[in-house]
Structure 1
Amino acid sequence: MRDNLSSSSRIDAGEASSELECLPYSVQHNDEGVCLLVRMGPNRILLDCGLGDSSLLLNTLAKSASRGNSPLPADFVLISHAHPDHARGLLSLHEAFPLLPIYASEVTSKLLPLNWLGQDTKEIPQFCHALPLRSPVELQEGLVVELFPAGHLPGAVAVLLTYTTEQRSYKLLYTGDFFLSNSRLVEGLRLEELRGLNLNVLIIEGTYGTSRHPHRRNQENQLAERINRAIADNCSVLLPTPALGLGQELLMLLRSHHHFTGRDLDIWVDGAVATGCDAYLELLPHLPPSVQNFARHQPLFWDERVRPRVRRLQPEHRATVGNSPCIVLTDSTSDLAKYCQPNTGPWLILLPEKIDIKVNKKYFTPTTIESYLLAQHSDGPGTTQLIHNLRPQHVVFVHGSPTYLADLTSLEELQNRYHVHSPSAGILVELPIGDTFLQPAAPETNYEGELTELGTVITITLPDAITADNRWRQFADTGLIEARWQGEELVLRGLSQRELLNQSSDRYTLSDIDCCGNCRHQRGQRCWNPASPLYNFKVTLEGYCPAFERLLNNES
């Protein structure tokens, strides 16, 4: 973290010209973690504390507190979620300022101790207070906080702060890490919950910059296919992951994907990833209904009865676990050489993108090192989609490499409609809110056309102005469209080359395997078998459950 925090004196002394200010102590440009100090009128709010080395921050906060009228460096702390880059500095912060209130969602408050596994958790007090979801709470006079589920990780929230004066109200939303798509164990952020907030300031992550990702299902299928090929080639697979989030998502993927269901295969889980699985089991009532329903019929993680078997790896077995093809999930900080031992393997080491994991150039046994994408953050289109739905006056980008954040701030669609900021650590950002500021208009999306019926052919003619939109190229990629009724309206959707290839592939592969795509109980991509753990839930065509019954020829 930079030694450039002198601006904190202004934010604490109340000398700024604006009712709203943001001072980033760290914006995770260099894996520092995220920590922001926000001022709304007289209120000082610390958002997240993910610094690995918090000594400089604590010294700066102590100086700020000594200059002010309060012994505390902020009025309270709000934590978006339990990942280390947002929460690992909390224990040091609490020890330095034990009276400083710290708040988070109920799930996050229970997951936070996993950031200090090396310490005796019995000696660590429960210093984080749980706040309810979707329920406004007044923490200071005139200052209300409300938490909304943000996807990404169980318990992750977007934080809405509303400061009300006699003249007006000010609204600021901090997304933390967010994900619009549903994943295996977390439902995505719901845009409909946040529309119409009349935001003044949006502080938003930009982890993936402007990059565009395939659909989440496609990402999962590509990863599952690579692991399947490795196992078929008598190769073991090593998956180093963080303790929370990705490791548990991978386990659910491996347990439910058609490449692995019912397969005589061992999946071993080691270290903090296994501890994270235990923590998830304690939070089962907070997980999505489909996951709870799954857990009623079979164990969520540890299961030696249903194939593939999922087991906790004991330390004495690490050196021999790869004697036959298997899958191992372990900590992203582990020394992978303790698994890649002589007379084991060969090994395929799969590294998740955007997570820095150290690997050796050479191991004791043949190894192949590759990377994969299984995103837990929204991509560029998802990020801009959230911004355009909220339409704030100011957009502040944090959490990402300087290059990726620069890509976002330079987008013309943002520059022309919002005040865009991407501050470095220690640089105070003033966020003036003018009474005459015009809220940006929603983008024009309506085009007038003509419809002509000619016998058995219907022609829809649209003006060429529609092609000026950046989305047109993707829509018209193949020249093929799909039409469906939505109430009284007819919705048109362009079919992409990737989708056509997937449809063609599914047509030939799904008939050869036991999966939801050829189950007699699957209709409209929903399961209608009361004996299935997926009953009444939407299913993917390549999914599988023990209640599978093959579709007969006369039923097709």
Structure 2
Amino acid sequence: MGPHRIVLDCGLRDLAALEAARDRIETADLLFCSHAHSDHARGVREFSQRFPQVPIYGSEVTAQLLPLNWLGETVPPHLCQALPWQTPISLADDLTVQIWPAGHLPGAACALFTYHSPQRPYTVFFTGDFFMSNSRLVDGLPLEALRGLKPDVLIIEGSAGTVRHPHRRQQENLLASTIQSLVQQGRSVLLPTPTLGIGQELVMLLRSHYQFTGQDITVWVDETVAAGCDLYLELMPEFPSSVQNFARHQPLFWDERILPRVRRLGVDGHPEADCPCIMIAHREVDLSDHCRNSNQAWTVLLPDSFATAMADLLLATSSDPGPTLGWLQTLVPELESEQVQLDTYQLTTHSDRVGTTQLIHNLRPQHVAFVHGKPTHLADLAGLEELQTRYQLHLPSAGNEVEFPIGDRFIQPAAPEPIFDGEITEIDDSVLLLLPEALTTDPRWAALADTGLVQARWQGHELVIKGLNQRDLMRTVTSSDTPWQPPSCQTCRHQREGRCRNPNSPLYGLQVSPEGVCPVFEARPARAEQDDEASA
């Protein structure tokens, strides 16, 4: 920005890639670390060693969470300088920064950099990873506080592409039901997680969700994830008021008195051989022994974003499994005997298409640069007509410099070509859809054509086609004729005309939200739903 150089995050495992730009980095004004997740921060300590003259900034919470990326190693006490929320801070005579919470992770921040030139101020807004919805331990990005900033350039993550996610509470309810069902079947559940974020969210979910309240289940947490829990407890004033209120009445994480009990793996013992349990452990640690040396059957639940990598590993198509999932390959005999099963779950911490476009429209930038996501996902976002007609869109690639000319005249960027024309032909009692062969060059084709079967459904006036993979087919075979729905007032037999009619419910007589739920939920019989639809 003008004469200033700013480094945004440093999640590289090996900083050798920075040597090509060493001259520019050595003269950088600062490194801004958006949050403490390893893919954004694991290279910060080595960066400080190589470029000690470059100051590092982040939020107060990020500054305290950063050392968890280097457990057991020496970390300088003031590696990261803390910035206050929503206060412009001068970094140089003509350069300021202002940060806001970004959701996603405690301490995660988005930042507005302003270069005050003699002609006019120039602004760049960097989102880092952001999440619009509230989660168990983090409030969502405060959209109202950012409305109308009109930055010249917006650098925004596009991890989720144009996918639309279910409501966060629906995801939590489905995950809780899945875990409870597995435990009732006598299976132990293993949840590999990173050091920060999802691990602590899962502990809090199991501690506070109505399906687990009072259940005689032990939740084991390994030492790495436990270190994150302990540090969270030191940052309690920074958490949402709902979390602080919970902590006033019972411990946030470690508790032996109130069920389900939460224990530290190793420190408080180990799982009993004949009793189902839930284990939350760091994903880069070899967790195979827990599954192998047990009388219990195990189910390993992985985030759905790992589904493709998981399949590659088990099919031995990945020559370099890396540290994250490599230990799964040692469980092939157990997987074949079904002593160990693999499944996925969805618990998003990144904004979907709706949240991403909503933030862009509220900020109203001139330039939008999509980063931090699969190229196909970023191209999908750049292909949205609602964005193409309003903003200058950019898809930066590694190693190539991108300039953002600032002016009053809007230049329509060239649109990507993600659309394929085809033909539909009716044949006897079926429909034949013909698409060009060029479609198969897209890396997503392998997932769509995994089994050669697809599922189609109407979405408004559009027909959406989804590929069915092996796991989808297994769910179809084992499921009943009636599709399962998560518990909610919308599907409860006692909900009538928007009010609860169950005298045993704490919501009795009250008007209820369709997404609401209570401990005495009873599913509406399938026949009753059909009768309701017929009468409607």
CA distance in 2, matches of 1:115, 1:131: 20
CA distance in 2, matches of 1:162, 1:285: 30
CA shift for structure 1 position 385: 1.2
CA distance in 2, matches of 1:117, 1:369: 29
3-state SS in 2 of match to 1:340: helix
- Mapped contact 2:173–2:487 kept (Cα < 8 A): no
Give the partner amino acid of 2:343: E
- Mapped contact 1:178–1:378 kept (Cα < 8 A): yes
3-state SS in 2 of match to 1:354: helix
CA shift for structure 1 position 115: 0.6
CA distance in 2, matches of 1:224, 1:74: 47
Percent of aligned pairs with the same residue?
52
CA shift for structure 1 position 506: 3.0
1:541 lines up with 2:514 in the alignment: no
- Mapped contact 1:209–1:380 kept (Cα < 8 A): yes
3-state SS in 2 of match to 1:290: helix
Aligned equivalent of 1:92? 46
- Mapped contact 1:517–1:542 kept (Cα < 8 A): no
The partner residue of 2:58 within 101, 104, 108 is 104
Residues 336-390 of structure 1: CA deviation (Å, up to 9, x unaligned): 2121133432001100122564123425570110011100000111111111111
- Mapped contact 2:488–2:517 kept (Cα < 8 A): no
Q: 1:516 to 1:97 in 2, by over 3 A?
A: farther
CA shift for structure 1 position 427: 0.8
CA shift for structure 1 position 517: 9.3
Q: 1:316 to 1:107 in 2, by over 3 A?
A: closer
CA distance in 1, matches of 2:183, 2:56: 46
- Mapped contact 1:196–1:390 kept (Cα < 8 A): yes
CA shift for structure 1 position 308: 0.3
Aligned equivalent of 2:489? 503
Unaligned 5+ residue runs, structure 1?
1-39, 66-71, 440-471, 478-496, 510-514, 527-538, 545-556
Give the partner amino acid of 1:48: D
The partner residue of 2:24 within 64, 83, 104 is 64
What does 1:452-467 correspond to in 2, within 5 Å? none
- Mapped contact 1:61–1:73 kept (Cα < 8 A): no
Q: 1:343 to 1:191 in 2, by over 3 A?
A: closer
Aligned equivalent of 2:317? none
Give the partner amino acid of 1:275: A
- Mapped contact 2:170–2:486 kept (Cα < 8 A): no
What does 1:232-247 correspond to in 2, within 5 Å? 232-247=184-199
CA distance in 2, matches of 1:294, 1:101: 37
1:337 lines up with 2:288 in the alignment: yes
The partner residue of 2:140 within 188, 208, 211 is 188
CA distance in 2, matches of 1:224, 1:500: 10
CA distance in 1, matches of 2:187, 2:217: 12
- Mapped contact 2:506–2:518 kept (Cα < 8 A): no
Aligned equivalent of 2:376? 403
1:518 lines up with 2:505 in the alignment: yes
CA distance in 2, matches of 1:292, 1:354: 31
CA distance in 2, matches of 1:232, 1:48: 43
CA distance in 1, matches of 2:504, 2:40: 40
CA shift for structure 1 position 475: 11
Give the partner amino acid of 2:389: N
Give the partner amino acid of 1:82: A
Of the two structures, which has the highest relative contact order with CA contacts closer than 8 Å and spacing of 6 or more? 1
What does 1:116-265 correspond to in 2, within 5 Å? 116-121=70-75, 124-265=76-217
1:373 lines up with 2:327 in the alignment: no
Give the partner amino acid of 1:83: H
Q: 1:126 to 1:215 in 2, by over 3 A?
A: same
CA shift for structure 1 position 228: 0.8
How many positions carry a matched residue from both structures? Answer: 429
CA distance in 2, matches of 1:201, 1:207: 19
CA distance in 2, matches of 1:392, 1:474: 31
Residues 463-509 of structure 1: CA deviation (Å, up to 9, x unaligned): xxxxxxxxx966999xxxxxxxxxxxxxxxxxxx9999943433459
CA shift for structure 1 position 120: 3.6
- Mapped contact 1:103–1:130 kept (Cα < 8 A): yes
1:50 lines up with 2:21 in the alignment: no
Residues 418-450 of structure 1: CA deviation (Å, up to 9, x unaligned): 1111111111110000144499xxxxxxxxxxx
CA distance in 1, matches of 2:182, 2:212: 12
CA shift for structure 1 position 64: 3.4
Give the partner amino acid of 2:199: G
TM-score by length of 1: 0.72
- Mapped contact 2:392–2:411 kept (Cα < 8 A): no
3-state SS in 1 of match to 2:292: coil
Give the partner amino acid of 2:12: L
The partner residue of 1:362 within 324, 332, 335 is 332
Residues 98-141 of structure 1: CA deviation (Å, up to 9, x unaligned): 121110000000000001114144xx332210000000011111
CA shift for structure 1 position 406: 1.1
Give the partner amino acid of 1:81: H
- Mapped contact 1:151–1:182 kept (Cα < 8 A): yes
Q: 1:504 to 1:193 in 2, by over 3 A?
A: closer
Give the partner amino acid of 1:323: D
What does 1:291-330 correspond to in 2, within 5 Å? 291-314=243-266, 317-318=269-270, 320-330=271-281
Aligned equivalent of 1:290? 242
Give the partner amino acid of 1:60: A
3-state SS in 2 of match to 1:139: strand
CA distance in 2, matches of 1:475, 1:187: 35
3-state SS in 2 of match to 1:225: helix
Report the more deviating stretch, 342-351 or 187-196. 342-351
CA distance in 1, matches of 2:485, 2:67: 43
CA shift for structure 1 position 256: 1.3
- Mapped contact 1:321–1:344 kept (Cα < 8 A): no
Give the partner amino acid of 2:257: R
Give the partner amino acid of 2:366: Q
